[in-house]
Amino acid sequence: MSAVTATAPAPTRVASDEGRIGLRANLRHIGALARRNMLQIKQDPESMFDAVLMPVIFTLLFVYVFGGAISGKGHQHEYVNYVVPGLMAMMGMNLSMAVGSGINDDFRKGVMDRFRTMPIARSTVLIAKIVVEVGRLLIAIAILLGMGFALGMSIETNVLHLAAAIVLSVVFGASLMWIFILLGLTMKTAQAVQGVGMLVLMPLQFGSSIFASPTTMPGWLHNFTKVNPLSNLADASRALINGGAVAHSVWMTLGWAVGITVVTAPLAVARFRKKT
C-alpha cells in the first residue's frame, strides 16, 4: 500500500515541471518537432507544390500579363525588377496560410492532443511549425529570384542588400504565420481557414504597391496602400535590390512584424492551451 502511495504523485510532478523547462530543453523539443514536420513533408512531397510552383507561375503570369501594360509591349523585362521584389512580400503571406490549415488538420486528427500530454512547453509545438514553414518560404523565395534572374532581373545594389531583402521578407512572413496559426486554432475546419485567409489576402495583395505604383490608383486606395504592411515590405525589398531610400520602409516593415508577433503569438499559445 505504501508503494502505491509513493508513486501516485509522479504524474502531477511532471505536469508542474512544464513551466520550468529550460532553454536547452525547449530548443531540443523544437528541433525534434521540426524534424517530425519535415518527415511529414518527405512522406507527402505534394505538400511542397505551393512553395515550388507558386513562384514560377506568379512570376510568369504577372510579368507577361501586367508587364506589357505597365512597361509597354516588348519591355516586360523592365517590369521584372519592379514586380519580383514585390512578389517576395506576396510569397510570405500566401505560404503562411498553409500553417493555419496544417495545425487545424493536426487537431482534427488528434495529433495535437498527444503533444499536449507531453512534458513540453506549448509554444514549442507552434514554433516548430513556423521553423519548417520558414524553410519552405526560403525555398519559394530562392525559386522566385531564380525566375527573376532568368527573365532579366538585375541587382542594382549588391548581394548584401539582396540578402537583407530576403531576411526582411522571412521575418515579416514568420510574423504572419502567427496570425494564421491563431486562425487555425479558432476555425472549425481547414477549409474555413483558407476561406478567411483569402478574404484577407486579396485586398491586401492587390491594394498594395506589389504589382503597380500606387500613384495611378484612386485617392482612397492610394491612402490604403500607405498603411498596408505589404506595400512597406514590397517598397523595402525593391529599394534594397534596385537602390533608393530604404530606412522608412524597412523600419515600418519591422515595426509591423514585431507588432503582429507581440499581439498574436501569446493569443495563439493561449488558444492552443484551451482548445479541445
The model carries a pTM of 0.84
**240: Cβ contacts below 8 Å, ≥ 6 apart:** 85, 157, 161, 162, 164, 165, 168, 246, 250
Q: Is the pLDDT of residue 14 over 50?
A: no
> Mean of the pLDDT values across residues 226-237?
92
What ranges do the domains of the chain cover? 2-274
pLDDT band at 1; cut points 50, 70, 90: very low
Q: Are 257 and 175 in contact (CB under 8 A)?
A: yes
- The top-scoring range by mean pLDDT among 22-31, 89-98, 168-177, 185-194 is 168-177
Which is higher by pLDDT, 128 or 78? 128
Residue 275 falls in which region: left (phi positive, over 0), alpha (psi -120 to 50) or beta: beta
> Mean of the pLDDT values across residues 13-26?
58
The pLDDT tens digits of the residues spanning 95-127 come to: 888 888 888 887 777 777 677 667 677 788 888
Percentage of residues in the chain having pLDDT higher than 70:
88
pLDDT computed for residue 71 by the predictor = 66
pLDDT band at 178; cut points 50, 70, 90: very high
pLDDT computed for residue 34 by the predictor = 84
Read off the C-alpha cell for 248: 522608412
**134: Cβ contacts below 8 Å, ≥ 6 apart:** 170, 173, 174, 177
pLDDT computed for residue 235 by the predictor = 94
Q: Is the pLDDT of residue 46 over 90?
A: no
